[in-house]
Amino acid sequence: MLTAPPDKRTLLLLLFLMACTTTVPCEPLTVHVDEHGLDNEDCDCNYPCASIKAALMVTSESPKIIIHGTIDEATTIAGGRRVMFRGDPPVCEQLGTNCIGHETSVWTYSGRGPALTIRDGGTQVVINHLAIYGRDRHQLPPTGGVSVLPSGRPMLIMDSVRISGWSDFGVQAAGGSIRLTNCDVIGNVGGGLMAGGNVQLDVTNNRFGANGSETSIVGAVSLAIPFAPSNRLDDNIFYGGNRAISGIGSAVDCTIPMVLRGNQIPPDETVLGCTTENWLKN
């Protein structure tokens, strides 16, 4: 006995139900955190979690964590773990142009202490295409963005990241290794980048602006690290508004002489304690 074919309304309903239940293959060792997600055991591209904490519990291996939207959370990466954080690819990257995609993926923290703390030997954190934003430039007690602790020489690598709006430092390193490339360090009241102690430094092709204040001991960059030929602070742009207390270099302040190469610095900002080569006044 022949049955009548389903009508148009029934077909549309079936197609809708299929679309709602269809999942797509997800990249291995990649977990997703979304401001509209719910914490679960997988945190995959079909069912993202709501927190970085849940994402880190999915695997004990080296995950890549993709952040969608705005996440308000403090996180510590320790114990020799290797983690990559990445935001959504920016529209301009999809069009094949060079840019920083910091408008759609934001990591912030409205509590006390830095948003991200890194410590212990073997620990490595890589951050790409992400904004690390402070909630309130006037927050008390002051709160910083990223802190690298001296225990065990951890490593921080940031490429195409915006660190902005913190009431304390943008990035602080008391040990380990830090590498910043193509980052914007902007509007951090306690200073942009502060490195002290036995830190390996590779900071090139970044932009620093409006960091520090008339009462801060750090302007854009403060370096209190031992001399090493491999340490670099080269080819960066300091484009105005960096300030520090009297006697401190508002653009760069070095307690041990270090050679800086190819940086562009405004005439009204100062460099103290450092030797400059190919120093451009912008």
- pLDDT tens for the 282 residues of the chain, in order: 455 555 656 555 545 444 444 456 788 889 999 999 999 999 999 999 999 999 999 988 889 999 999 999 999 999 999 999 999 876 555 445 455 444 689 999 988 889 999 999 999 999 999 999 997 666 666 689 999 999 899 999 999 999 999 999 999 999 999 999 999 999 999 999 999 999 999 999 999 999 999 999 999 999 999 888 899 999 999 988 999 999 999 999 999 888 899 999 999 999 999 887 755 555
DSSP secondary structure string, the chain? ---PPPPHHHHHHHHHHHHHH------TTEEEEETT----S---SSS-BS-HHHHHTS-SS--EEEEEEEEE--EEE-TT-EEEEEEPPPHHHHTT------SSEEEEE-SSS-SEEE-STT-EEEEEEEEEEES-TT-SS---SEEE-STT--EEEEEEEEEE--SSEEEEESSEEEEEES-EEE--TTEEEEEESSEEEEEES-EEES---TT-S-SSEEEE----TT-EEES-EE-S----STTS-SSEEESS--EEES-EE-TTS-EES-EEES-EE-
Residue 255 amino acid letter: T
CA–CA separation, 250 and 216 (whole Å) = 10
State the pTM of this model: 0.86
